[in-house]
Structures are given as structure tokens and as C-alpha cells.
């Protein structure tokens, strides 16, 4: 008997803990839709917990209402706080701790499950998803048409269509796809979406939802004095299921592509740049093309961001990928071909296409060419003399050896003198400082300075800063000071 009394008192104690806090939460939710719950608390002194996340879902506070209540001769405050989350899987609302009248009080935890919704069956409304195909490859385009219709005589006050979330698909709404027309007593509205599956397997889309606000026809009679409040209805579409096949290993493109490259010139002077334009066109998942880079030894390469233009036509997802490279070679070289690989669905195989390669000839300056030719002649002459030397006496060999050293030193001295004279001549004929001072924009200054890349590390950094937001006048002053320091 005593055990029974203790047990009853224990349960009364537990019930008193939970009596002051009430959790109001639906048992289920619809994936992709907002889920709301409330916490109702009463007491003279209240302290709410800080609720930021529930099972990794961000919690948003929607508002608080406060009221006074009188119970058994005592006044107390009652608070109701409303919260919202957008879950995509089943979750549990945990137990929360409250401080009520200096006592710790806990709520009960509650498990919330996902509710599966079906297409709305109504004589007044219809929402249907129509796919262009149900079997496809990863990255292959898919067109989905959404058709919503409602009876013409309904008094619709508002229509709301939440932005869809196509899980596991990259998607975009097609431009100029909005259509509205009448058909057999219904108002019909159409939208089209272009989707690309991002993974293989059995994937699904929907149901999508349209929220309808309309006049309540049941209460809207000619004899009523008051306008009835509008009613809200949620109209759900059908669900679509897709079988998505994976692409071959290391292949991310599917469709039919062409690639081409052109250069503005193939013979340049030392210090000049070459413009290489790369173009890819065709039909396929252009948004999945990786940014193409060039790696060419003995050359400085600048490139811009690729320009991608796409358009959905009766052929499919057509597009162009264009990128321009600026190449400054230090010697003659070959620009290699650029390759693209994709999966051809019709032929069911990997196709490889590539652009042309280009041989670039870099012409050295006249002075440098003269020195090189002189050095070559001297080398040839030395080789000839070495044959004769074999027949000479030891003394003559020593004399010729000394003469060869003197000649070599003379040639190097002459080469250095010519280089110095050439530098003075160039600075006199077309001073670099003067060219920089005449530059009115950063682009003009880059064109002047490109030939001097890799001459000095600090100067290189200043040249690259021409592409930044740095003040043009300050940058020009710093470049002029550096050029004077290194005496270019």
C-alpha cells in the first residue's frame, strides 16, 4: 500500500513538472514545406531556452504572444512562442529546459515523421508535371512542363507557387516559357524547367505545390451582409520518377561538341604577345565544362574568364564556350592542341576532339642576332683552327691557345659593349619612361610593360597590379621609380 502511494505521488510530481509547459506540434510534415510548432508556458517568472537548431535544421522564431491569467486567486503570465523549421527528413523535437518561478521544468520530446502527399484529386483544380523523358544519363538535359489549371468561374484572390527544389538536379527556369490560356472552361497556366541530374540511380521529383486563396463559395450568398474570409487550399502535383545512368569513368560531358582554336599571328618579335581564341560549340551540358588552362614552358600566359552562352532549342541545350588567352613567349615554341572528351548518347561511346596546334616563331633583335652569328662564326673558326693545331708544334699550340683565350675574352667584351650601346640607343630613341608617362590607361601601360616581365621581381608585382583596383596615378609613379632604380 505504501509503495502504491509513493508511486502515485511520483507520477503527480512528474505531471506537475510538465503541466506548466505545453508543446504544440503536428505529428508529421511535408518535405520542402515549413513546419511550425509552439511552446506555451505559464508562471510568474519565466526564462525560455535559446533554440537555434533541431537535428541540424535551423530554427526560426516566428513571434511571441503574452497574456495574464488569474488562477485560484493568483496572477501569472502566459507566453506562447511560435517556431518554424524546414525539414527534409524525419526528426525529433528534443526536451527543452525552462526556468519557471526559480524551478527547472522540462518539456517532453516528440518524434516527427515525414508525410507523403499524393496528387490532389479535384474537379476544380489540377496540377500536373509532364517530363520529356524518364530514362537518361547523368548531365543529360531533361525538360519538365508544369501545367496548372482551375475552373474559370472560381473567384481566385491569390495564387502562390513556391520556388521548386529539385533535389539531386541542377535546374533553371526556361525564359519565355510562361503561358496562359483558356481551355474547355478552365484557365491554364504553364511553366517549363530544364533539369540536369547530378548523380546516378533512381531519382524523383515532386510533388510540387500551388497555394490557392479563393472566396468561400459556401458562405458567399446574395443575402449575406458580410464578406466571408477567403479560404486557402494546397494543390499538389504528381510525383515523377527517373532512372539515371552513370557516365563512363572520368567523363563529365554528354552531348555533341565541336572545338576550334585560332591565333592572330604566328610570327612575332621578341616581347610581343599572341592572342589565342578557343571556341567550343554544340549541344550538351555546357555548364559542366571545366575552366580550361594552358601550361606552356618559356611563355607568360594571361587568360580571362570563359564566356558561356546557352539556349534551349528543339535540338536540345545548345551553347558556346569562348575563352581568350594572351601568350608572351620568350623564344620560338609550339602552342599545343586543346582536347575535349564527351559521351555521345547516340553512338554510346566516348568521343575525343581537339583543336589545331600552332608553331610560333619568335624573331630575336638585330643586335642579339649579330652577336649570335659572330659567336657562331668564331666557334666554326676555332673548330677549323683546332684541326690545324694538331699538326703544329707544342710551342705553336701554346701560342694559339693563348691567342684563343684573348680572342674569346675580346668577343665577350665586344658582346657586352654592344649590349650596353644598344641599351643606350634604345633608351635614347624610345625612352621607356616617356612611353609610360604617355600611357593614359592601365591597359596601355600593360602593353608597354609586357616585354619587361621577368626582368625584376618587384617590377613584375607592379605590372600585375595593373589589373587591380589600385589608383592609376599612384601605380604609375611606383613603376617609374622602380624602372629608374633597376635602370631598364
Q: Are residues 264 and 300 in the same domain?
A: yes
Mean pLDDT of 72-81: 74
* 3-state secondary structure (DSSP) of residue 393: coil
Residue where a domain terminates, one of 222, 245, 268: 245
Q: Are residues 137 and 197 in the same domain?
A: yes
- 54-63, 155-164, 435-444: which is most confident: 54-63
Q: Is 457 a member of any domain?
A: yes
Percent of the chain with pLDDT over 70: 81
Q: Is 153 a member of any domain?
A: yes
Residue where a domain terminates, one of 323, 342, 363: 363
Mean pLDDT of 420-446: 68
Give the range of the structural domain holding residue 471, as residue numbers without chain letter.
366-486
Q: Are residues 229 and 278 in the same domain?
A: no
Q: For residues 457 and 436, what is the distance between their CA atoms, to the nearest angstrom?
A: 19
Q: Are residues 153 and 108 in the same domain?
A: no
**pLDDT reported for residue 340:** 96
CB 439 within 8 A of CB 476: yes
Least confident of 168-177, 369-378, 391-400, 433-442: 369-378
CB 160 within 8 A of CB 217: no
Helix runs in 450-471, H state only: 457-464
Instruction: Give me Rg for the CA atoms of the chain.
Output: 40
**Number of domains present in the structure of the chain:** 4
Least confident of 14-18, 190-194, 390-394, 474-478: 14-18
Instruction: Determine the straight-line distance between the first and last CA of the chain, rounded to whole angstroms.
Output: 107
pTM of the entire structure?
Answer: 0.62
- 36-45, 289-298, 390-399, 431-440: which is most confident: 289-298
Q: How would residue 17 be classed by pLDDT, with cut points 50, 70 and 90?
A: very low
- How many C-beta atoms lie closer than 10 Å to residue 231's C-beta? 14
Q: For residues 397 and 416, what is the distance between their CA atoms, to the nearest angstrom?
A: 28
Q: Are residues 29 and 96 in the same domain?
A: yes
Q: Is 290 a member of any domain?
A: yes
Q: Are residues 347 and 377 in the same domain?
A: no
**Interhelix angle 366-389/394-429, nearest 10 degrees:** 180
* 3-state secondary structure (DSSP) of residue 260: strand
Q: Are residues 350 and 265 in the same domain?
A: yes
Residue 445 pLDDT exceeds 60: yes
Q: Which conformational region is residue 90 in: left (phi greater than 0), alpha (psi within -120 to 50 degrees), or beta?
A: beta
Identify which of 70, 242, 72 has the alpha carbon closest to the alpha carbon of residue 166.
242
To the nearest 10°, report the CA torsion of 424, 426, 430, 435.
Answer: -90
Residue where a domain terminates, one of 184, 219, 245: 245
Mean pLDDT of 396-405: 70
CATH of the domain at 190: 2.60.40
Q: Are residues 348 and 388 in the same domain?
A: no
pLDDT in tens, 220-237: 555 555 556 788 899 999
**pLDDT reported for residue 288:** 94
Q: Are residues 355 and 414 in the same domain?
A: no
Q: Are strands 209-214 and 156-161 parallel, antiparallel or unpaired?
A: antiparallel
Q: Are residues 45 and 99 in the same domain?
A: yes
Q: Are residues 371 and 477 in the same domain?
A: yes
Q: How would residue 346 be classed by pLDDT, with cut points 50, 70 and 90?
A: very high
Q: Are residues 399 and 428 in the same domain?
A: yes
- When the pLDDT of each residue in the chain is averaged and rounded to a whole number, the result is 83
Mean pLDDT of 432-442: 80
Residue 137 pLDDT exceeds 90: yes
Identify which of 167, 169, 164, 165 has the alpha carbon closest to the alpha carbon of residue 138.
169
Residue 37 pLDDT exceeds 90: yes
Q: Which three cell numbers stand for residue 260?
A: 576550334
Higher pLDDT, 433 or 253: 253
Q: How would residue 164 be classed by pLDDT, with cut points 50, 70 and 90?
A: confident
**pLDDT reported for residue 7:** 46
Q: How would residue 416 be classed by pLDDT, with cut points 50, 70 and 90?
A: confident
Amino acid at each position: 500500500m505504501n509503495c502504491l502511494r509513493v508511486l502515485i505521488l511520483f507520477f503527480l510530481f512528474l505531471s506537475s513538472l510538465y503541466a506548466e509547459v505545453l508543446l504544440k506540434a503536428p505529428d508529421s510534415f511535408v518535405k520542402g514545406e515549413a513546419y511550425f510548432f509552439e511552446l506555451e508556458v505559464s508562471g510568474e517568472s519565466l526564462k525560455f531556452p535559446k533554440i537555434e537548431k533541431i537535428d541540424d535544421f535551423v530554427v526560426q522564431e516566428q513571434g511571441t504572444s503574452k497574456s495574464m491569467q488569474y488562477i485560484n486567486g493568483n496572477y501569472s503570465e502566459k507566453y506562447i512562442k511560435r517556431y518554424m523549421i524546414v525539414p527534409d527528413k524525419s526528426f525529433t523535437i528534443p526536451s527543452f529546459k525552462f526556468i519557471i518561478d526559480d524551478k527547472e521544468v522540462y518539456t517532453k520530446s516528440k518524434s516527427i515523421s515525414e508525410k507523403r502527399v499524393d496528387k490532389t484529386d479535384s474537379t476544380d483544380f489540377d496540377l500536373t508535371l509532364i517530363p520529356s523523358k524518364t530514362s537518361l544519363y547523368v548531365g543529360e538535359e531533361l525538360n519538365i512542363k508544369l501545367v496548372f489549371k482551375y475552373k474559370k468561374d472560381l473567384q481566385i484572390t491569390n495564387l502562390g507557387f513556391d520556388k521548386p527544389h529539385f533535389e539531386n538536379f541542377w535546374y533553371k527556369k526556361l525564359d519565355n516559357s510562361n503561358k496562359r490560356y483558356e481551355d474547355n472552361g478552365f484557365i491554364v497556366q504553364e511553366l517549363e524547367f530544364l533539369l540536369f541530374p547530378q548523380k546516378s540511380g533512381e531519382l524523383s521529383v515532386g510533388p510540387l505545390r500551388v497555394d490557392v486563396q479563393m472566396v468561400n463559395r459556401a458562405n458567399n450568398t446574395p443575402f449575406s451582409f458580410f464578406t466571408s474570409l477567403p479560404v486557402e487550399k494546397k494543390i499538389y502535383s504528381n510525383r515523377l520518377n527517373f532512372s539515371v545512368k552513370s557516365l563512363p569513368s572520368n567523363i563529365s560531358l554528354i552531348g555533341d561538341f565541336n572545338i576550334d582554336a585560332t591565333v592572330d599571328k604566328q610570327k612575332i618579335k621578341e616581347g610581343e604577345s599572341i592572342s589565342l581564341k578557343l571556341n567550343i560549340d554544340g549541344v550538351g551540358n555546357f555548364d559542366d565544362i571545366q575552366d580550361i588552362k594552358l601550361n606552356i614552358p618559356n611563355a607568360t600566359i594571361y587568360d580571362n574568364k570563359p564566356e558561356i552562352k546557352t539556349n534551349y532549342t528543339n535540338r536540345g541545350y545548345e551553347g558556346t564556350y569562348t575563352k581568350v588567352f594572351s601568350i608572351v613567349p620568350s623564344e620560338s615554341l609550339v602552342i599545343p592542341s586543346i582536347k575535349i572528351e564527351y559521351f555521345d548518347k547516340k553512338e554510346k561511346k566516348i568521343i575525343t576532339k581537339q583543336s589545331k596546334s600552332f608553331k610560333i616563331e619568335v624573331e630575336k633583335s638585330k643586335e642579339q642576332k649579330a652577336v649570335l652569328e659572330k659567336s657562331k662564326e668564331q666557334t666554326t673558326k676555332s673548330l677549323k683552327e683546332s684541326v690545324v693545331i694538331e699538326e703544329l708544334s707544342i710551342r705553336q699550340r701554346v701560342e694559339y691557345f693563348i691567342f684563343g683565350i684573348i680572342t674569346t675574352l675580346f668577343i665577350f667584351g665586344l658582346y657586352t659593349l654592344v649590349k650596353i650601346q644598344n641599351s643606350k640607343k634604345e633608351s635614347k630613341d624610345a625612352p621607356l619612361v616617356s612611353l609610360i608617362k604617355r600611357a593614359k590607361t592601365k591597359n596601355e601601360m600593360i602593353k608597354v610593360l609586357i616585354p619587361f616581365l621577368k626582368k625584376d621581381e618587384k617590377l613584375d608585382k607592379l605590372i600585375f597590379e595593373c589589373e587591380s583596383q589600385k589608383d592609376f596615378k599612384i601605380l604609375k609613379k611606383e613603376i617609374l621609380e622602380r624602372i629608374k632604380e633597376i635602370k631598364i
